[in-house]
Structure formats: C-alpha cells, structure tokens
Amino acid sequence: MIDLKSSIRSIPNFPIEHITFRDITTLMQDPDAFREANDRFYERYKDQKIDKVVGIDARGFVFAAVLAYRLNIGFVPVRKKGKLPFKTISEKYTLEYGNAEVEIHADAIKKGERVVVIDDLIATGGTIGAAVNLVERLGGEVVGCAFVIELVELKGREYIKKQKVFSLVEFEGE
C-alpha cells in the first residue's frame, strides 16, 4: 500500500497567513499514488448500491468522476455560485478563510437516490455541509462523505455528525 500522505505537498501561508495548504496536485501527478487513492474510494463504495457520486468544485470533481465511472453511475457537480447553466438551488456556508456559496442543478438528484459526496479535503466542514444540505434538499440520501485529506484539528466532522466520513489521509496541526 502506498503512503499517500507523503505524496501531498504542504504550502505554508497559502492562501492566507497561518494556513497550510495541502496540495494534492502532486498526488494526482504520481500515477501510482493517484491510482491508489482512487482504488481506495472504489473499494469503500463498490458494494453500497450508490446511485450518484457528487463531486465538489474543483478538486473533488477529479476523484468523484473517477468513482462514478468505475461504479458505472452518474456524476453530479456541486459548483461555486454562478457556474452552472441551468436551474439551480444554492447553499451559503463559512469556510476556513471566508464565506462562500455553492449550487447544484435542481434536477441532478432524484428523491430516494443514494449518494456519496466527495471532496479533496475536509477542514471546518462548511463546504461538505453545504453540499450534503443540497443533496438532501433534492431528496437524496447521503450514504457517505469521502475526502482525500482530513484536517483533524479543525473538527470538520462535527459539522456533518450524522454522516459516515471516510478520509484517505489525516493531518493534525502539521
């Protein structure tokens, strides 16, 4: 098994002072690490009767799309406000260094569909919380939230307490 943590670059003071950005582009550039990460997501969800995979803008798209392809199911993007071309619903939230709003197409999830939501990272939980709320507002059932990276010290899991969380790599105040 590949050590995925060692394939992630840490960039101090980005995008603002006192934030360490965890850059997964290095993981994605390494074919063995990228395959390992995607294989772990697939192994986790292959037997859970998932109907759709929701990916969060932008790096969550990469892993969610691969999982949807491998499961032979639909991929649904959750995008930053103003980026989707059809009727949408939106959700505002607070993140580690500001405020934001995301949206989903109003017809993307059907009532009762089982959904996994994937993002590259969970920090404070605001982004994933907003995405979960969007899926549930459309009648979907979130069966799991998955991340490449979890920043444990920021306690993002607390924001989505009722969800099953799966993280490939954890960072604790490093």
- Return the structure tokens found at 174: 């490093």
Whose CA is closest to 115, among 77, 144, 146? 144
pLDDT at 97: 66
Q: Is residue 3 part of a domain?
A: no
pLDDT at 174: 57
pLDDT at 133: 98
Q: Which domain holds residue 89?
A: 49-171
For the chain, counts of helices (H) and of strands (E) = 4, 9
Q: Is residue 115 part of a domain?
A: yes
Whose CA is closest to 85, among 112, 104, 71, 65? 104
Counted domains in the chain: 1
pLDDT at 64: 98
In the chain (174 residues long), the average pLDDT of successive 10-residue segments reads 96 89 97 98 98 98 98 98 97 83 98 98 94 98 98 94 97 79
The CATH code of the domain that includes 142 is 3.40.50.2020
- Return the structure tokens found at 139: 């009648």
